[in-house]
Structure 1
Amino acid sequence: MDTAISERLSAELRVPFPSAWEAEVAYNSLSVDKEPKRGHVHRDLSLDGNIMQVCFQASEARTLRVSINSFFEHLKLVCETIDQFRPL
């Protein structure tokens, strides 16, 4: 199924962190995990100071929802890891 860009669904998230360092650690951890090609989801991450911006595009609402849920699960793990190993 070839879906035109105009028919794609999208969602944008802005995730604030206490510092630019934490945002960069999260960005570096999450940017290496690419979306599976079979899901037809495209995800872009970017940094703006202590804000990580995430843009999702998908051809179906279900795949968009699954991708966002998976992202939040990974983000939660990254944040917990940062809390455990944060420099004093």
Structure 2
Amino acid sequence: MAATAPWDLSCHLDVNFKTEQHAFIAYTSLAVDKELQPDKVRRVMSVSTQQAFCSVEARLLRASFSAFVDVLTLATRTIREYGQD
């Protein structure tokens, strides 16, 4: 199913970490993974505000967001296990 207008599909994710250092660890872990189809999925990340994804296709938005959440989950578990408060 093709989108009717460019970037008309989006989702937002806010994740609160215990410390700014934990947020930065998660950010740097996620920043190395670039979008596989940057002409169709755009990701905007920030440590201090929010995470936003936009896509021209719902299928790509779901796949990109799902992969992001998988890496975010791994980073969060690593912080929980090895992070210092």
Shorter-chain TM range is 0.7 to 0.9
Cα displacement (A) at 1:87: 2.5
Cα displacement (A) at 1:8: 2.5
How large is the RMSD of aligned CA atoms in angstroms? 2.2
Equivalent residues in 2 for 1:1-88, closer than 5 Å: 4-5=5-6, 8-37=8-37, 40-48=40-48, 53-87=50-84
Task: Give a deviation string over 1:41-71, Cα, whole Å, max 9, x none.
Answer: 11110011xx6x2110101111111111111
Equivalent residue of 1:69, what SS? helix
Which structure carries more relative contact order (alpha carbon 8 Å, separation 6+)? Answer: 2
Listed as ranges, the gaps of 5+ residues in structure 1 are: none
CA distance in 2, matches of 1:39, 1:84: 36
CA distance in 2, matches of 1:64, 1:20: 28
Listed as ranges, the gaps of 5+ residues in structure 2 are: none
Equivalent residue of 1:35, what SS? coil
Percent of aligned positions that are identical: 39
**Runs (4+) off by over 6 Å:** none
CA distance in 1, matches of 2:38, 2:31: 18
- Calculate the TM-score normalised by the size of structure 1: 0.80
Looking at secondary structure, tell me which structure has more helix per residue: 1
